[in-house]
């Protein structure tokens, strides 16, 4: 590679063009009453989650770096809204990598992960599954818009302060640190929470891991009933 892994990721992450795209997305989603942001803060969270998960699975540094590149670019297509944004993000990423002569060892995996991150649960592309998982579980309060805090179901995410991960003895622990105000019944009945669970299950099945989803270090019992 022409760049050290860390430099490659930071080069893209700090590109003014990328930052400006996500600023526009944030503004657009405020104007259109979006429930949650697909902005710079979100994609950086997704990159961080990808890194933590893949490190726990002992993946190579170059693979982790390129998964983080996919994470940074995966929502660039949201400038025109959520509909079909994954394909627009894919088209942008493909052109962006070519125009900037950015070499990727796993380029096809990166682009496929971006193109299919909305619903590509059935795949052998581990990078894609990690992106889907990291994307779906970023439901903590910093992502929720003011409008989203008023929407039944979605409003419960404002009480999620942090998300922790651990892979140990073939168990995949995901611990949501929550405020006591959270309403678990409303949270469980919300459609997007079901997508979060689906992403966790798909990833765990592929890696032969047993998912242990928790809230404040206690099993999220509703998930297992």
- Residues 193/194/199/204 CA torsion (nearest 10 deg): 110
Number of structural domains the chain divides into = 1
Provide the residue range defining the domain that includes 179. Answer: 5-224
- C-alpha closest to that of 204 among 178, 224, 182, 186: 224
Q: What is the pLDDT of residues 153-181, one digit of tens each?
A: 999 999 999 999 999 999 999 999 999 99
Residues of the chain above pLDDT 90, percent: 86
**For 124-149, what is each residue's pLDDT tens digit?**
899 999 999 999 999 999 999 999 99
Q: What is the pLDDT of residues 52-77, one digit of tens each?
A: 999 999 999 999 999 999 999 999 99
**117, 131 contact by CB (below 8 A):** yes
CATH of the domain at 133: 1.10.3210
* pTM, two decimal places: 0.92
- Identify the three-state secondary structure at position 144: strand
Q: Partners of 36 in the beta sheet?
A: 144
């Amino acid at each position: 590679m022409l760049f050290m892994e860390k430099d490659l990721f930071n080069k893209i992450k700090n590109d003014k063009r990328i930052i400006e795209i996500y600023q526009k997305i944030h503004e657009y989603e405020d104007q259109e009453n979006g429930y949650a942001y697909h902005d710079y803060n979100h994609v950086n969270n997704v990159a961080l989650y990808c890194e933590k998960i893949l490190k726990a699975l002992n993946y190579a540094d170059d693979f982790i770096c390129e998964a983080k590149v996919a994470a940074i670019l995966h929502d660039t297509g949201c400038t025109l809204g959520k509909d079909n944004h994954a394909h627009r993000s894919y088209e942008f990423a493909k052109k962006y990598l070519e125009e900037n002569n950015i070499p990727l060892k796993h380029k096809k995996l990166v682009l496929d992960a971006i193109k299919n991150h909305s619903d590509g649960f059935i795949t052998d592309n581990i990078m894609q599954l990690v992106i889907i998982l990291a994307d779906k579980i970023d439901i903590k309060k910093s992502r929720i818009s003011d409008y989203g805090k008023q929407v039944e179901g979605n409003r419960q995410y404002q009480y999620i302060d942090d998300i922790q991960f651990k892979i140990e003895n073939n168990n995949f622990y995901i611990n949501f640190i929550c405020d006591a105000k959270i309403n678990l019944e409303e949270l469980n009945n919300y459609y997007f929470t079901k997508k979060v669970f689906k992403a966790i299950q798909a990833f765990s099945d592929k890696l032969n891991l047993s998912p242990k989803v928790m809230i404040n270090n206690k099993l999220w019992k509703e998930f297992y009933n």
